[in-house]
């Protein structure tokens, strides 16, 4: 009989956890004082706001870490605007932060501002989308299986096409350099992993077509 109160409290705790998750992911502006108590310095609403802001800032920090080249290209303020718009439209569904930006390039492609009627296509947006896509591919290859794994054979090279040499630009950012935006020209790339390092090679059109087949 002594254990019954614990069993009765479990559903209530689960409900509070679900409510807390919901209001952090999708702030409604509701008064949270029915669940969160005020402190001597902060109201219940202000205490909840600390968690809401902290959660968004953590995701934003992760987006910057996954896309250092894009942060350098745009500047932190503009990159943050794009990233927050993406996060608002596509809330995180994965327990792994590495997959947070999987749909980032696709979101930018669907919402690019130069698709309005009569608007002229802007080359810098093509560069940005290709750079974000390459950074995503770089992360996937780095975190995926490779020849160092004894359990399975190494996967084939990851092929990638871009409107500019985004690979050399990202490599310069990784070195701590301050590269200028790359001149646009078609590039074809193959990404592999060796000794837990991503190796990128630029391919000729013929080599790319042979590998893609």
Both tokens of 64, joined, read 């910057």
Per residue in 92-150, pLDDT tens?
A: 777 777 889 999 999 999 999 888 777 888 999 999 999 999 999 999 999 988 787 76
For position 45, what pLDDT does the model report?
Answer: 77
Domain range enclosing 152: 64-212
Q: How many CA atoms lie within 13 A of 211 on its CB side?
A: 18
Confidence class of residue 151 from pLDDT cuts 50, 70 and 90? low
* Coil, strand or helix at 197: strand
Whether 51 is covered by a domain: the verdict is: no
β 158-162/187-194 pair status: antiparallel
According to the model, what pLDDT value does residue 81 have?
A: 96
Give the model's confidence band at 5: pLDDT under 50 very low, under 70 low, under 90 confident, else very high: low
Query: What is the per-residue pLDDT across 159-211, written as a single tens digit (0 to 9) for each?
Result: 999 999 999 999 999 999 999 999 999 999 999 998 889 999 999 999 999 99
Q: Is residue 19 part of a domain?
A: no
- Per the domain annotation, does 43 fall within a domain? no
* pLDDT tens digits, one per residue of 63-84: 999 999 999 999 999 999 999 9
Within a domain: 15: no
Whole-number pLDDT of residue 1 = 46
Residue 16 lies in a domain: no
Contact criterion met (CB below 8 Å) for 160 and 130: no
The model carries a pTM of: 0.81
Residue 72 in any domain: the answer is yes
| pLDDT tens digits, one per residue of 23-75 | 766 677 777 777 788 788 877 777 877 766 777 889 999 999 999 999 999 99
* Domain presence at residue 201: yes
Q: What are phi and psi of 182, to 5 degrees?
A: -70, 145
DSSP structure string for 79-136: HHHHHHHHHHHS----S-GGGTTTTHHHHHHHH-GGGSTTPPP-HHHHHHHHHHHHHH
Positive or negative torsion for Cα 62, 65, 70, 75 = positive
If one counts the domains in the chain, the total is 1
Q: Is residue 37 part of a domain?
A: no
| Tokens read off for 48 | 């909840």
């Amino acid at each position: 009989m002594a254990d019954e109160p614990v069993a009765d409290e479990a559903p209530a705790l689960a409900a509070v956890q679900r409510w807390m998750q919901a209001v952090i992911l999708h702030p409604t502006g509701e008064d949270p004082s029915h669940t969160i108590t005020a402190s001597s310095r902060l109201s219940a609403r202000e205490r909840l706001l600390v968690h809401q802001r902290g959660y968004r800032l953590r995701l934003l920090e992760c987006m910057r870490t996954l896309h250092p080249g894009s942060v350098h290209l745009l500047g932190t303020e503009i990159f943050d605007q794009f990233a927050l718009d993406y996060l608002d439209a596509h809330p995180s569904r994965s327990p792994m932060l590495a997959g947070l930006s999987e749909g980032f390039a696709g979101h930018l492609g669907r919402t690019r501002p130069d698709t309005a009627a009569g608007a002229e296509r802007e080359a810098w947006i093509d560069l940005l989308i290709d750079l974000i896509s390459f950074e995503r591919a770089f992360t996937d290859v780095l975190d995926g299986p490779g020849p160092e794994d004894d359990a399975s054979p190494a996967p084939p090279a990851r092929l990638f096409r871009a409107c500019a040499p985004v690979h050399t630009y990202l490599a310069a950012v990784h070195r701590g350099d301050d590269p200028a935006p790359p001149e646009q020209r078609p590039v074809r790339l193959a990404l592999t992993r060796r000794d837990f390092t991503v190796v990128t090679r630029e391919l000729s059109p013929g080599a790319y077509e042979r590998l893609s087949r």
